[in-house]
Amino acid sequence: MTRLSALVFGDRPGFNGILGRYFDGISVGDGLNKSYRWLLIWSGLGLLLRLTQLSLKPAWMDEVATAIYSIGNSTHDLPFDQVVGLAEILRPLTLSPSATVGDTVQYLIQEDRHPPLYFVLSHFWVMLFPDVDGLPSLAALRACSALLGALAVPVAYWVGRVTYRSALAGSMAAALMAVSPLAIALAQETRHYGLASTLVTASLGCFALAFRRVWRYQSLGAGLVIGWIGVNALGFATHYFTVLTYTAEAMVLAAIALIQGRQQGWRILVQPVWLQLYGVGLGTALSIGAWWPILTGLEGSNQILKSDLSQWTSWINPPVQTLIAWIFTLLTPITFFADTPLRLAAIVLSVLVMLAWWIRLIPLLIRGVLILEQDVDSHLGVWAIGGFLLAIMVVFAGVCYGYGTDITKGLRYTFAYYPAVVILMAGALSVYWPQRLPRGRCSWIIPVWKRRLSGRRLVQITWTLSLISTLFVVNNFAFLKFFSPNRFIPFVQAHSTYPVVLAAPEPRYEAKRAIGIEFLSVVWEIHRHFPPNQPGSGWQQPPQFLAMGLETPTVPDWDQRIGAALAQQPGPYDLWILHGGPDLSAYGCSPAVDAPQGNKGSYVYRHFTCDPAA
């Protein structure tokens, strides 16, 4: 790590490394043009990291849904109630020359709960690339999100600069956003979180500008008003949860209104700057209201995020998960499966290093924020970003505890605020670049802290650890997919004696739900890395697949229906059913002796051995 730090930042005296020369050029005040040139480097680095190893990780269920809608297909294209081969079961993921962007929007609105902007962009993007045996390229699909997410790097520079009135702070924000492991993990999914993060970052920049001008009774200007409305409109058209961001921004501005109204009289709230703010609020509200016919049709709820507030864990989990999200924004340890002693040692070592540095870093970040708050140019930026983070924590708590939905379970929803965490940390670190830190108090952890640590060295080590965290992410050592078909498939192969039939019940009765995507995540991984026609795939015979379409929540004759569907299947064979299964003893199926039921790779299964002729 020391050598990497020296290469990137340089060693004293002079700091001739890459980042050292960059920040030196900004800090002396003559380097605005130089900062723009180096911004291209950080933007390029951010893009390069986001485009690294895009096909390495398996596609989990939400990414399967994005792929299906992006190519203009429906999840209901699954062949139901019949045993089929690999090519047939992949019908929803098969490219059709007649599919249009209109099909993308139509099926998305009919079957899902998300706005269409990202899916429309993904449709046009994926059509530029060749297919992979008739299916879209997973790497190409993820590259669309990666490119849109990489735009957050130059946007972060602008936000940091206008927030703290400092090119150095802006440059620090760009450098941190380029290597933020959380930002890159979200951008590398073929989902809308990369684009949503960029738009949230842009909205925060507009908010920080507005905060400063409202506080000083200065006009917002037509450009800021129109741009802010446009960014917010695009954000909501990308993900409905951007409304959480807008709500927190509105709460902070409402607090300013309350302060100014009490201090100078309520008539102050009809001054031109406030009228312009009302215009932004109205424009944003209208852009959200345009989706009202679709929003009213969103039935049901995401049961995965529902929490039972009668359990004490439902009260503890949100703050703990939020703290983890804040930490993972900057530093992430290895989190892959500890299935060998070497992997376990790697996890423990990375956790200890990251934890030790956080112990050193947190009080310095707090001190840096307090220094910024005392500066005449940057204090309003601290109030704006700090106030926003406080407000959105209140908003998230309201959703978790008031609505009973724990949206902190998925780190993906942090797109609504993690850019503000990056901006706040960047501002705090920018304070230390020209300074020397006080003698470390944690020398019992790392002996080097017995010496006084320069501010530049603090930035060096923090940025380098963040870069290393990002390398963990892109190489699938951290931020693993919740569903892991690459672990489930070898498990099925290892515990099957006969040819395999993989089955799953699919609830066709549920409105606004993409069906079959968990099942297809396994099938797509078989197509990508375990193709039956390739030597060494691990299959004795090509696996068969059965999607059972359920029209009602309770299916009393499920055993008869699945038995009828399997009637023509020659035995003996191993039957694996996702999400459990009925009693099939009447059809020659009994629970397997080896791994009859359990959970592997987050796939809940039941395993039967079937031989109708026995």
CA pair distance 312, 340, nearest whole angstrom: 33
For 144-180, what is each residue's pLDDT tens digit?
Answer: 999 999 999 999 999 999 999 999 999 999 999 999 9
For 220-270, what is each residue's pLDDT tens digit?
Answer: 999 999 999 999 999 999 999 999 999 999 999 999 999 999 988 889 899
Residue in the block written with tokens 């952890």: 445
535 cis-preceded (ω within 30 degrees of 0) = no
Other CB atoms within 10 Å distance of the CB of residue 293: 9
Estimate to the nearest angstrom the gap between the alpha carbon of 463 and the chain centroid.
21
The pLDDT of residue 29 is 42
For 275-310, what is each residue's pLDDT tens digit?
Answer: 999 999 999 999 999 988 888 766 554 555 677 777
Share of the chain above pLDDT 90, in %: 67
Reported confidence tier of residue 509, pLDDT bands at 50, 70, 90 = confident
Reported confidence tier of residue 108, pLDDT bands at 50, 70, 90 = very high
Tokens of 369: 């924020």
Residue in the block written with tokens 């605005």: 32
Give 54's contacts (C-beta < 8 A, 6+ positions apart). Answer: 138, 139, 142, 143, 146, 188
Closest CA to 429 of 374, 366, 360: 366
Tokens of 482: 């919740």
CA pair distance 190, 138, nearest whole angstrom: 8
Give 312's contacts (C-beta < 8 A, 6+ positions apart). Answer: none
71 phi/psi in degrees, rounded to 5: -90, 10
Reported confidence tier of residue 443, pLDDT bands at 50, 70, 90 = very low
Record the pTM.
0.90
Q: Residue ranges per domain, the chain? A: 2-53+147-292+305-474, 485-610
Identity of residue 365? L
Apex CA 392: angle with CA 389 and CA 397, to 5°?
125
Apex CA 513: angle with CA 598 and CA 108, to 5°?
135
